[in-house]
Amino acid sequence: MLAHVSITYADLSGLPPAIVVVGECEIPRDDELVLAKKVGALIHIAKDMPHNPALFADYHPEGQRALDALTGFIRKCLA
């Protein structure tokens, strides 16, 4: 029954707007996408990138695009 210990089974209604930035190559990618769809989050998938793609913004164009997606989402929410 350990498989049921996951945020994907939680009642997540009433959460504020969210963005999920996921690296295409990261191991928990599929679980993150299930969660993002469940809460209606904006999804950004960074092609060929590992976990936390925005951390690679100085080194890889996809990392920069991930960071741009995050900052754009924050700007939109604060506007």
pLDDT in tens, 25-53: 999 899 899 989 989 999 999 999 999 99
Name the residue range of residue 51's domain: 16-78
Enumerate residues 6+ apart whose C-beta is below 8 A from 49. Answer: 23, 24, 25, 26, 56, 60, 62, 63, 66
Mean pLDDT of 64-75: 98
Domains: count for the chain? 1
Q: What is the pLDDT of residue 18?
A: 95
CA distance 27 to 11: 24
Q: What is the pLDDT of residue 60?
A: 97
Cα 66 from chain centroid?
9
Q: Is residue 1 part of a domain?
A: no
Q: Is residue 64 part of a domain?
A: yes
Q: Is residue 42 part of a domain?
A: yes
Q: Is residue 39 part of a domain?
A: yes
Q: What is the pLDDT of residue 3?
A: 58
